[in-house]
C-alpha cells in the first residue's frame, strides 16, 4: 500500500517547518542569547546539546509507547513507528554526544571522561544500536515485530537508569532538567564550570532550540515512516510480480 | 512434582497463587535435577571463568598490584561473560530437546516459567560466584567475603539474569543465536553492573566504608532488579509464543 496523500502532504509541510524553525533557532542562539560569564561564546553549544539530548529521550519514549501498542494491537504501523523513532533517537543521541564532547574540551579540558553520566549514555547508545542487530537476525515479519517491541520496552530501562543514576551518583556533568539541587551541589564542590541558566534570554533561547529540534524530529519521523511504507510497497509488488511470472510459465 | 493437581478444572480460585508457586518450584527442581545429572552448565561457566581470569593476569603481565586494582571490575566482567554461557546453555537445552513446547503446553502460567528460569539460572550463577569469590580471595587477596559485597553480588545477579532470560529467549529463536546474545545483553546490563561494581569496590579497602557512601549504589541495583523483573513479567509471554 502506497503512503496516503495525507502523509505526503504532512511530510512536505513538516520539512519546510523544520528548515524554517532550525534557521530561526540558529539566529536566536547566535544573535539573541547573551554571552555566558565564565565560559564565553563556547556556552552556545549548550543549546544544541540540551535540545538534541531532550529530543533523543522523547524519541526513545515514543519507541517504548509504540512497542507497547504493537504488542497490544499487533498492527504493523506501530512497528514502523518504533523503528523510525529508535533510528532518529539514535541520531539525536549521537548529535548530543558529539556536541557535548566539543563542549567538554574547553570546559573540562578533555573530549571524553568516563563519568557515570557519560558512561550510561554510551551504554544507552549501544543498547539501542543493538536493536537493529536483533531486527536483522529475524526473517519472519510478525516475529521480528514482536521481539523488537519487547526489546524496545526492555531497553527503556537503560534510559530510566541513566536518568536515575545521574541524580543519585556524584558526577562532573551538570543536571539541567529538574535538578537545581544537584547542580548547586556540584557547583559548590567545584566540579562544574557551568552552573545553569542565569538569564531569561538563555531560557527563551533554550526553548527555541528545543522546539526547533522537536519539529525536526517530527519531520524526520514522517519521512522515515513514508520511506518504510514505500519500501513495504516495493516488497509487495515484487512478490506480486514473481507470482504473476510464475503463473505465466506454468 | 504432582502436575495432575494443576490440570484439575475445578480448582478453587484462592489456590491460584499456590499453583503458580508449585509450577515455579517444579521448574526450578527440574533444572537443578538436570544439572545434577549432566553438570554441563556450571562446569562450563567455571572453566570459562578460570580461563578468563588467567588470561587477564597474562594481559596484566603478572603485575599483581595492577591486577589487584582491577580485581572488582574483572570479577564482574567474568560473571557477565560466563553468565551469557549459562543462559544460552540452560535455555538451549529446552529447545534442543523440544521440552519448551511441553512447558508451554502445560496448564501453568507463562510467568511461572519465566520466574522458574530466573531462579534456576540465578542459582547456577551464584554457584559460579561462590567459586569465583574464593579464587579472587586467593589470587588477589581482596576481602570479598564481607556481607555487603555478597549481598550486592546476589542482587546484581538477580537483575542480570532477569534481563538475560528475556533476551536469551529471543536470541535463541533467531538466526545468529549465541552471537547475538552478548551484543544485546551486555549493554543492557551495564547500568546494573556500574553501580554494583562501585559498591563492591568501596569494600575492597581494609577499613569498612560508611553505609551512606554505598547505599545509593545499592538502591540503584535494587531499582534495576525491580524494573527488569517487571519488564520480564509483562513481556515474557510475547517472547515464547510461537
pLDDT at B3 > cutoff 60:
no
Is the CB of A165 inside 8 Å of chain B's CB atoms?
yes
Locate the chain A residue with the closest alpha carbon to B237: A150
Nearest Cα to Cα of residue A53 among A83, A86, A90, A87:
A90
Q: pLDDT tier at A166 (50, 70, 90 boundaries)?
A: confident
pLDDT value, residue B235: 92
Q: pTM, whole model, 2 decimals?
A: 0.86
Euclidean distance between CA atoms B162 and B235, whole angstroms: 12
**pLDDT, mean of residues B38-64:** 83
Mutate to test the interface with B, among A78, A149, A154 (most CBs of B within 10 A): A154
Residues of A in contact with B216 (CB under 8 A): 168-169
Cα four-point dihedral sign B127, B132, B133, B138: positive
Is the CB of A146 inside 8 Å of chain B's CB atoms?
yes
pLDDT value, residue A171: 66
Write the pLDDT tens digit of every residue in A78-92: 999 999 999 999 999
Euclidean distance between CA atoms B186 and B164, whole angstroms: 9
Is the CB of B167 inside 8 Å of chain A's CB atoms?
yes
Q: Which three cell numbers stand for residue B77?
A: 566482567
Residues of B in contact with A126 (CB under 8 A): 187
CB atoms within 10 A of CB A234: 11
Task: Give the distance from residue B8's alpha carbon to the nearest chain A alpha carbon, in angstroms.
Answer: 30
Residues of B in contact with A114 (CB under 8 A): none
User: Under an 8 A CB cutoff, do A137 and B176 touch?
Assistant: yes
pLDDT at A13 > cutoff 60:
yes
Is the CB of A133 inside 8 Å of chain B's CB atoms?
yes
pLDDT value, residue A189: 44
Torsion of the alpha carbons at B11, B15, B21 and B26, rounded to the nearest 10? -30
Mutate to test the interface with B, among A69, A78, A117, A127 (most CBs of B within 10 A): A127
Contact B124, B90 (CB under 8 A): yes
User: Under an 8 A CB cutoff, do B224 and A133 touch?
Assistant: no
Q: pLDDT tier at B104 (50, 70, 90 boundaries)?
A: confident
Region of residue A74 (left: phi > 0; alpha: psi -120 to 50; beta: else): left
**Mean pLDDT taken over chain A:** 85
pLDDT value, residue B117: 93
Is the CB of A148 inside 8 Å of chain B's CB atoms?
no
User: Under an 8 A CB cutoff, do B166 and A150 touch?
Assistant: yes
pLDDT value, residue A247: 82
Write the pLDDT tens digit of every residue in B147-203: 888 999 999 999 999 999 999 999 998 887 788 999 999 999 999 998 888 888 888
pLDDT at A182 > cutoff 50:
no
pLDDT value, residue B240: 87
Euclidean distance between CA atoms A60 and A54, whole angstroms: 10
Residues of B in contact with A138 (CB under 8 A): 173-175
Is the CB of B163 inside 8 Å of chain A's CB atoms?
yes
Alpha helices by DSSP H, chain A = 5-27, 45-73, 76-108, 116-136, 141-168, 180-188, 200-249
Residues of B in contact with A133 (CB under 8 A): 180, 183-184
Q: Which three cell numbers stand for residue A43?
A: 556556552
* ipTM above threshold 0.95: no
Residue A200 or residue B122, greater confidence = B122
Locate the chain B residue with the closest alpha carbon to A150: B235
**Mean pLDDT taken over chain B:** 85
Task: Give the distance from residue B35's alpha carbon to the nearest chain A alpha carbon, in angstroms.
Answer: 29
Write the pLDDT tens digit of every residue in A190-233: 444 454 566 778 888 888 999 999 999 999 999 999 999 999 89
pLDDT value, residue B96: 80
pLDDT value, residue A177: 57
Residues of B in contact with A160 (CB under 8 A): 227
The torsion angles phi and psi of B141, rounded to 5 degrees, stand at 55, 50
Residues of A in contact with B227 (CB under 8 A): 157, 160-161
Is the CB of B230 inside 8 Å of chain A's CB atoms?
no
DSSP, res B177? G
Q: Choose the closest CB to A161 out of B176, B183, B191.
A: B191
Task: Give the distance from residue A93's alpha carbon to the nearest chain B alpha carbon, in angstroms.
Answer: 16
Q: Between chain A and chain B, how many beta carbons pairs sit less than 8 Å apart?
A: 97
Write the pLDDT tens digit of every residue in A95-148: 999 998 888 888 788 888 888 888 888 999 999 999 999 999 998 889 999 999
Euclidean distance between CA atoms A234 and A240, whole angstroms: 10
Q: pLDDT tier at A40 (50, 70, 90 boundaries)?
A: confident
Amino acid at each position: 500500500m502506497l503512503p496516503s496523500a495525507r502523509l505526503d502532504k504532512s511530510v512536505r509541510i513538516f520539512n519546510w517547518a523544520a528548515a524554517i524553525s532550525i534557521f530561526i533557532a540558529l539566529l536566536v542562539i547566535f544573535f539573541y542569547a547573551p554571552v555566558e560569564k565564565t565560559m564565553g561564546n563556547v556556552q552556545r553549544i549548550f543549546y544544541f546539546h540540551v535540545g538534541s539530548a531532550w529530543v533523543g529521550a522523547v524519541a526513545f519514549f515514543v519507541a517504548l509507547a509504540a512497542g507497547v501498542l504493537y504488542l497490544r494491537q499487533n498492527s504493523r504501523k506501530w512497528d514502523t513507528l518504533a523503528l523510525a523513532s529508535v533510528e532518529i533517537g539514535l541520531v539525536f543521541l549521537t548529535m548530543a554526544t558529539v556536541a557535548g564532547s566539543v563542549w567538554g574540551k574547553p570546559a573540562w579540558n578533555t573530549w571524553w571522561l568516563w563519568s557515570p553520566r557519560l558512561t550510561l549514555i554510551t551504554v544507552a547508545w549501544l543498547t539501542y544500536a543493538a536493536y537493529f542487530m536483533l531486527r536483522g537476525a529475524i526473517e519472519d515479519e510478525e516475529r521480528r515485530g514482536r521481539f523488537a517491541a519487547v526489546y524496545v520496552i526492555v531497553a527503556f530501562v537503560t534510559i530510566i537508569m541513566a536518568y536515575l543514576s545521574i541524580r543519585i551518583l556524584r558526577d562532573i556533568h551538570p543536571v539541567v532538567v529538574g535538578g537545581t539541587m544537584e547542580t548547586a551541589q556540584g557547583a559548590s564542590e567545584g566540579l562544574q564550570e557551568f552552573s545553569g541558566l542565569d538569564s531569561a534570554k538563555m531560557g527563551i533561547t533554550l526553548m527555541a532550540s528545543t522546539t526547533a529540534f522537536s519539529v525536526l524530529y517530527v519531520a524526520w519521523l514522517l519521512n522515515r515512516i513514508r520511506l518504510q511504507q514505500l519500501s513495504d510497497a516495493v516488497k509487495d509488488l515484487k512478490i506480486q510480480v514473481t507470482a504473476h511470472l510464475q503463473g505465466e510459465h506454468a | 512434582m504432582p502436575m495432575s493437581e494443576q490440570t484439575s478444572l475445578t480448582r478453587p480460585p484462592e489456590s491460584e497463587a499456590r499453583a503458580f508457586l508449585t509450577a515455579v518450584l517444579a521448574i526450578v527442581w527440574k533444572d537443578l535435577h538436570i544439572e545434577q545429572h549432566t553438570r554441563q552448565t556450571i562446569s562450563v561457566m567455571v572453566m570459562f571463568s578460570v580461563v578468563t581470569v588467567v588470561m587477564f593476569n597474562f594481559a596484566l603481565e603478572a603485575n599483581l598490584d595492577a591486577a589487584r586494582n582491577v580485581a572488582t571490575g574483572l570479577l564482574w566482567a567474568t560473571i557477565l561473560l560466563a553468565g551469557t554461557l549459562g543462559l544460552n546453555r540452560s535455555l538451549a537445552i529446552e529447545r534442543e530437546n523440544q521440552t519448551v513446547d511441553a512447558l508451554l503446553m502445560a496448564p501453568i502460567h507463562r510467568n511461572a516459567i519465566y520466574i522458574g528460569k530466573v531462579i534456576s539460572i540465578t542459582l547456577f550463577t551464584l554457584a559460579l560466584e561462590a567459586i569465583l569469590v574464593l579464587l579472587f580471595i586467593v589470587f588477589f587477596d581482596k576481602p570479598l567475603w564481607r556481607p555487603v559485597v555478597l549481598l550486592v553480588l546476589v542482587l546484581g545477579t538477580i537483575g542480570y539474569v532477569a534481563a538475560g532470560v528475556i533476551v536469551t529467549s529471543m536470541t535463541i529463536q533467531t538466526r545468529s543465536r549465541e552471537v547475538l546474545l552478548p551484543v544485546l545483553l551486555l549493554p543492557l546490563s551495564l547500568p546494573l553492573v556500574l553501580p554494583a561494581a562501585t559498591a563492591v569496590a568501596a569494600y575492597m579497602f581494609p577499613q569498612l566504608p560508611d553505609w551512606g557512601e554505598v547505599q545509593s549504589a545499592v538502591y540503584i541495583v535494587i531499582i534495576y532488579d525491580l524494573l527488569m523483573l517487571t519488564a520480564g513479567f509483562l513481556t515474557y509471554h510475547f517472547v515464547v509464543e510461537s
